[in-house]
Structure 1
Amino acid sequence: MPSSAGPSIGTITEGGRVTQVGEGQDADETTPPVMTFGAPTAGEILAERYELVEHINNDSAGRLVWRGVDVVLRRPVAVVMRYPGGTSATEMLQAAVAASRVIHPNLTGVYDAIDEADRAYVVREWVDGRSLRELVADGPLDGARATAVGSAVASALAAVHATGMVHGNVHPGTVMISDDGRVVLADARTDGDDSQESDVRAVGGLLYYALTGYWPHTEAPLRGATAGHGRAAIPDAVRDANGVVAAPRQVRAGVPAYLDDLTTDLLDGGIAPPSSDVLAAELARLDVPAEDDYLDNSGPLRFAAESGDEPSPLAAAGGRKVALGIAGVLVVALVGLLVGISALGGDDESPRTDPVAAPTSSAPVSEEPPPPARDLQISAARIIDPDSGNRSEVRDAEKVFDGDRDEGWSTETYNRSNFGNLKEGMGVWIDLGTERTVKSVQVHLSSTGASAQLLTGTIDAPSSSAGDRQVVDAYKPGVIGQPFEEHDGTTMTFNGFDADQKYRYLMFWITELPSNNGGFKLGVQEITVQGS
């Protein structure tokens, strides 16, 4: 393929199918020159492991994007290369290292980050599919699909934010939709100007773009998508004479009211946005199959300004804040109608009840937003080992929640990753002391390469082989989120919790051990639980 600067979403055709990798913005007239001296060639193997297959494109930062193959694990990879390495590649490498610590099904996996002085490169997951930018170029998405995309991105951000980090590069070019429907967020490039709040507001921008095909540039523009950035910039949103962005329903018919409200609330600088985990929980609740009813009795989450604040310009323009007030007026009218009907029926000999006085105010009562997530206290932990008569590995469970990641619990060394066929797995069971609303669980491990999942149940059996077997059998149906298979980081984040369910007992269940000094062994350094 040509190596000249072009769209940052590279495409190649394989058997009639388009293969792509998302790298953010389009290149423009200010694109840094790409160093071609000593540039790699197809067939070259980097770090004695990553074979370069085909040059895809150069992104807006002048980085070369290649499709490659990990010759050890025989899996496709994306290789993002920068000339030179050293200090000029520090930000790219640091962002990659930080991203590698967060493992989540809606984040692209980062496999390696290497600095060779004259060049530096990051090796990450290859995604077969299309970017959100390309997908919407064919036409805006319906409410169900837009909600699904927003839900996946918010879930990914919640995992990133739970570590204290910021993504800083959320826009239609970094959101990929794979051929199997998986939504993944790529290419974190945080700097000092980024914040978790800007990440959350960017989800509002994604929803707006998905629903309308326009990008709602805010007073604090989202990186990589501002007006004039690139010759093929995303069209700017429709605005009124005061520069206020039109609500999605004003741009396009058929946008669900709840999604219109949520999107415009997220973009309104006068309304404090929710945390990413609260937003993820709300979008997950709204992300239901198309044949189901989107609006249940609890209604969508709304984010209201503090009392006494000036009304938001978006609220004044769209009229979305008066909906509940109108509902209150209708309630008053209905009560008055019932009173009138009762008075007209005065000759009826049937017993009558005294009319109820109508409320004097139609102002809606603001619902308190859900409390922010915080670290929950673990009251107890123990090791679950149902297939071993030797209980030597069940000690030191208390070290997984003592706040010290340098010291934890560890398995013994086995001769195979699957515990040498001696057992189906081992687990770390934790007790929160009482039933709690759980947002996420992070498990910090001693090394990469393990496979595990998070389970939940309701029983607390005795600590014995028989009791452990009872726990495993009872907890297996209660899987939280997706399992991690041979993951490439040392932190696993599980956030597939039901917002309407309470949890007390959880179990981190290990099925595959990573390689360790000629054997196979894994340490669980710390488990942290967030919720309310």
Structure 2
Amino acid sequence: MPSSSGPSIDTITEGGRVTQVGEGQEADESAPPVMTFGAPTAGEVLAERYELVEHINNDSAGRLVWRGVDVILRRPVAVVLRYPGGDSATEMLQAAVAASRVIHPNLVGVYDAIDEADRAYVVREWVDGQSLRDLATDGPLDPARATAIGNAVASALAAVHATGMVHGNVHPGTVMISDEGRVVLADARTDGADSQENDIRAVGGVLYFALTGYWPHAEAPLHGATAGHGRAAIPDAVRDAGGALAAPRQIRAGVPAYLDDLTMDLLDAEIAPPSSDVLAAELARLDVPAEEEHYLENSGPLRFAADTEEEPSPLAAAGGRKVAVGIAGLLAVALVGLLIGISTLGDKDPQASQSPAPSSSAPAGDATPAAATVRKLPVQGVRIIDPDSQKRDELGGADKVIDGDPDKGWGTDTYTAAKFGNQKSGMGIWLDLGAPHTVKSVQAVLSARGASAQLLTGTVNPPSTSNGDKQLMANYKTEKTAIGQPFVDHDGTTMAFDGFDADAKYQYLLFWITELPASERGFQVDVQEITVQGS
């Protein structure tokens, strides 16, 4: 990543971890001692940009956590320093570079990573708020808030897992809730091996803690769930004489059955967990206002829907709790049918009494549709949109942005100014999904930071000519067709758009670039990969 001091860290470890350090995490007694020789002082400016304001604490790895300010952009930042730098800081810096590529509203953003040999430091987003661990000190959270927090954590993990990385440190101390209510996941680890499955099971631990105030680490704990790393203050879960974990509903009243089942299934080693994107979709379905929770109580057993070619979800096929809830759902359906029949017999309107009864041929299990599977949608067509150019010599290679290879992409020419040398209003990549789909998010990975772009949608597909591109832009470029907020002078290389209407269908999408980042020879950018998630 570029900086004004120290060598640039360009290497990114495939399958590595995101590193983001959350303030408020206490140092573990076993943490390595912090080297204080040449330690920073308040008022010092690092890399001619980051002014240190206040030493907050030392994290569990012995790094110094400071609150600072970016004197150029005038925004608060967190600065995490390690002594010394060089080879001993390579893993931290590489992980920070990887973190900067994952942009998501529920992940703490990473802005810079600098190695000065005698020390190294990572600069990231400052979060004013508190951890879930601290939030729950006054008692467990209500089910609606616990569900909302679980949804945010699962959504953050889905963004991390989509890049092939692992977080590896999901627990109440790394789930941050800002003063405005935003939930972010911070402080991923780089030590030791881990798996995406453990990340997903840890969401169950977060839900369990939010609902009960206890952390469910057992004899074979989730990674990072043991005492230490600032977690020693979290009380262990309630267990019976045989060591079996007590369900949230056994610990406190008012926990809905559907949330109790989901939490316990995620913690059950005998039940294979869903992928993080499927879990996020299910938690989003359950994330409803408290006054509407009664609609979920009668929704039958939770099912994570699978593609038609895939095996049914383990949660759909699970026995025990799922069978009991399924029987309860069938009884509820029967009771509703009985009440409808009584109402019909007592109806004084003869026409109403002659209305045909609802068909009962459909299986009872289909009464409540399963949540749609969120998956990567195939792109059937892709081309470059260049309405302001008559030469049209930058149209080749569009297919490289959807080939699944992040090392190959389509790139613009090099221009003398950020706005395409002041010759064009922009250029874009048009995607055809082949048919209308429900779209959840679109992610574009770029070759450099500093670009400005937005995502548009439209209804026309004119010919690939200069006039055709002008017709397309006239249809697409209105306020009603913009998806989410545009990225302006973006400080990362990944742009994620998730402002889609859940009730609408989309077939045509346009990733529209309005400003180019600076390069060694001018202004240019490559679009390495674009992925569309939906159902």
**Contact 2:281/2:374, CA 8 A, preserved across alignment:** no
Separation in 2 of the partners of 1:405 and 1:331?
Answer: 50
Letter in 2 for 1:142: D
What displacement does 1:64 show?
0.3
- Supply the AA of the counterpart residue of 1:324: G
Give, as a single letter, the amino acid of the residue that structure 2 aligns with 1:411: T
Query: C-alpha offsets along residues 344-386 of structure 1, whole Å, 9 cap, x if unaligned?
Result: xxxxxxx99xx99x99x99999998866735x43222122344
User: Residue 487 of structure 1 aligns to which amino acid in structure 2?
Assistant: H
| CA deviation after TM superposition for structure 1 residue 173, in Å | 1.5
Letter of the 1:109 partner, please give it: G
The match for 1:489 is 492
Relative distance call for 1:498 and 1:40 in structure 2 (3 A) is: same
- Alpha-carbon distance change, 178 to 323 in structure 1, aligned in 2, over 3 angstroms: same
Structure 1 residue aligned with 2:14: none
TM-score (norm 2): 0.79
Cα distance in 1 for partners of 2:223, 2:256 equals 28
1:6: which partner in 2? none
What is the CA–CA distance in structure 2 between the aligned matches of 1:328 and 1:28, rounded to whole Å? 51
Q: Which amino acid aligns with 2:26?
A: D
1:529 counterpart = 2:532 = yes
Please tell me whether the aligned partners of residues 26 and 58 of structure 2 are also in contact (alpha carbons under 8 angstroms): no
What is the match of residue 328 of structure 2? 326
Contact 1:155 1:495 in 2 (8 A): no
The one-letter code of the counterpart of 2:516 is L
CA contact (8 A) 2:299 2:368 kept: no
Shift of 1:86: 3.1
Aligned to 2:12: none
CA distance in 1, matches of 2:399, 2:183: 37
Report the Cα offset of residue 196 of structure 1: 0.7
Output one character per residue of 1:143-194: Cα deviation in whole Å (capped at 9) or x when no partner. Answer: 3322222222111111111111111111121122223322211122144431
Question: In the alignment, residue 285 of structure 2 is paired with which amino acid?
Answer: R
- For residue 43 of structure 2, what is the aligned residue in structure 1? 43
Q: What CA distance in whole angstroms lies between the structure 1 residues aligned with 2:317 and 2:108?
A: 43
Bigger Cα displacement from structure 2, 168-177 vs 487-496 = 487-496
Deviations 1:321-363 (A, max 9, x none): 4122133356668889999999xxxxxxxx99xx99x99x999
Quote how far apart the aligned CAs of 1:422 are.
Answer: 5.7
Counterpart CA distance in 1 for 2:488 and 2:222 is 34
> 2:456 — aligned with what?
455
For 2:523, which of 520, 524, 530 is the aligned residue?
520
Answer whether contact 2:115 2:121 (CA < 8 A) is retained. Answer: yes
What's the CA shift for 1:98?
A: 1.7
CA 1:243–1:367: 2 relative to 1, 3 Å: farther
Q: Report the Cα distance in structure 1 between the residues aligned to 2:101 and 2:227, rounded to whole angstroms.
A: 33
Q: For residues 198 and 74 of structure 1, what CA distance do their matches in structure 2 show? A: 38
Provide the C-alpha distance between the structure 2 equivalents of 1:299 and 1:467, rounded to a whole number of angstroms: 50
Distance in 1 between the 2:294 and 2:389 partners?
A: 48
The 3-state SS of whatever aligns with 2:263 is helix
1:260-296 per-residue CA deviation (whole Å, 9 max, x = no partner) reads 2222221222221110111111222233455656736
1:334/1:461 CA distance change after superposition, 3 Å: closer
Matches within 5 A, 1:308-323: 315=321, 321-323=323-325
Distance in 2 (alpha carbons) for counterparts of 1:25 and 1:149: 19
CA contact (8 A) 2:101 2:494 kept: yes
Partner of 1:409: 410
| Match in the other structure for 1:430 | 431
Alignment of 1:233 with 2:236, yes or no, is no
Q: Tell me, which stretches of 5 or more residues in structure 1 are unaligned?
A: 1-20, 343-350
Q: Partners in 2 of 1:194 and 1:335 — Cα distance?
A: 49
Aligned-partner SS, 1:264 = helix
Taking the aligned partners of 1:206 and 1:168, their CA distance within structure 2 comes to 13
Partners of 1:44 and 1:152 in 2: how far apart? 36
Matched residues in 2 for 1:513 and 1:325: separation? 59
Structure 1 pair 260–158 and aligned structure 2 pair: CA distance change class (3 A):
same
Cα distance change on mapping 1:25 and 1:494 into 2, 3 Å: same
Partner residue in 1 for 2:139: 139
Name which of structure 1's ranges 431-440 and 89-98 shifts more when overlaid on structure 2: 431-440
- Deviation readout 1:494-530 (Å, 9 max, x if unpaired): 4555677554222212233212236433221332335
**What is the rounded CA distance, in whole Å, between the counterparts of 1:435 and 1:322 in structure 2?**
38
Distance 1:468 1:299 in 2: 49
Given that 1:77 and 1:123 are in contact with CA atoms closer than 8 Å, whether structure 2 keeps it comes out as: yes
Q: Give the SS at the match of 1:130.
A: strand
SS at match of 1:516: coil
Code of the aligned partner of 2:435: T
Matched, 1:373 2:375: yes
1:413 Cα deviation (Å)? 4.2
- Separation (CA, whole Å) in 2 of partners of 1:406 and 1:109: 23
1:86–1:439 CA distance, 2 compared to 1 (3 A): same
Matched, 1:26 2:32: no
Q: For the Cα contact (< 8 Å) 2:303–2:315, is it kept in 1?
A: no
- The alignment partner of 1:383 has SS state of strand
Alpha-carbon deviation of 1:62?
0.9
* Closer/same/farther in 2, CA of residues 88 and 214 from structure 1, 3 Å limit: same
Quote how far apart the aligned CAs of 1:246 are. 2.2
In 2, the alpha carbon distance for the partners of 1:509 and 1:209 equals: 43
TM-score of the superposed pair, with normalisation by structure 1: 0.80
What is the correspondence of 1:161-240 to structure 2 with a 5 Å cutoff? 161-227=161-227, 230=230, 233-240=233-240
Counterpart residue number, 1:8: none
Note the alpha carbon deviations across 1:30-53, whole angstroms, 9 max, x for none: 232221111111222223332222
**Residue 507 of structure 2: aligned partner:** 504
Change (3 A) 1:322 1:116: same
Contact 1:200/1:276 (CA < 8 Å) preserved in 2? yes
Q: Secondary structure at the match of 2:40?
A: coil
Range with bigger deviation, 403-412 or 100-109: 403-412
Pair 1:160 & 2:163 matched: no
- Taking the aligned partners of 2:33 and 2:334, their CA distance within structure 1 comes to 68
Shift in CA distance, 107/341, structure 1 to aligned 2, threshold 3 Å: closer
- Cα gap change, 1:461 to 1:323, in 2 (>3 Å): same
| Aligned equivalents of 1:397, 1:489: Cα separation in 2 | 22
- After superposition, give the CA deviation of every residue in 1:381-428 in whole Å (9 maximum; x if it has no partner): 122344556645445433433455444333344454345666554321
Q: How many residues align?
A: 500
Of 200-209 and 465-474, deviating more is 465-474
C-alpha distance in 1 between matches for 2:369 and 2:490:
41
* Percent of residue pairs identical: 71
Task: For 2:325, give the aligned amino acid.
Answer: A
SS in 2 for 1:114: strand
- Cα-Cα RMSD: 4.1
Amino acid at match of 2:524: K
Secondary structure in 2 aligned to 1:443? strand
- Residues 362, 487 of structure 1: alpha-carbon distance in 2 compared, 3 angstrom cutoff: closer
Counterpart position of 2:445:
444
> 2:528 is paired with a residue of what secondary structure?
strand
Greater alpha carbon shift after TM alignment, 522-531 vs 505-514: 522-531
Give the alignment of 1:47-446 within 5 angstroms.
Answer: 47-227=47-227, 230=230, 233-289=233-289, 295=295, 301-302=302-303, 305=314, 315=321, 321-329=323-331, 373-374=375-376, 376-386=377-387, 391-419=392-420, 424-436=425-437, 438=439, 440-446=441-447
**How far, CA to CA, are the matches of 1:267 and 1:521 in structure 2?**
48
| C-alpha distance in structure 2 between counterparts of 1:106 and 1:366, whole Å | 30
The 8 Å contact of residues 444 and 529 in structure 2, kept in 1 or not, is answered as yes
CA shift at 1:236, angstroms?
A: 1.8
* Alignment-mate amino acid for residue 489 of structure 2: E
TM-aligned CA distance change 1:238 to 1:366, over 3 Å: farther
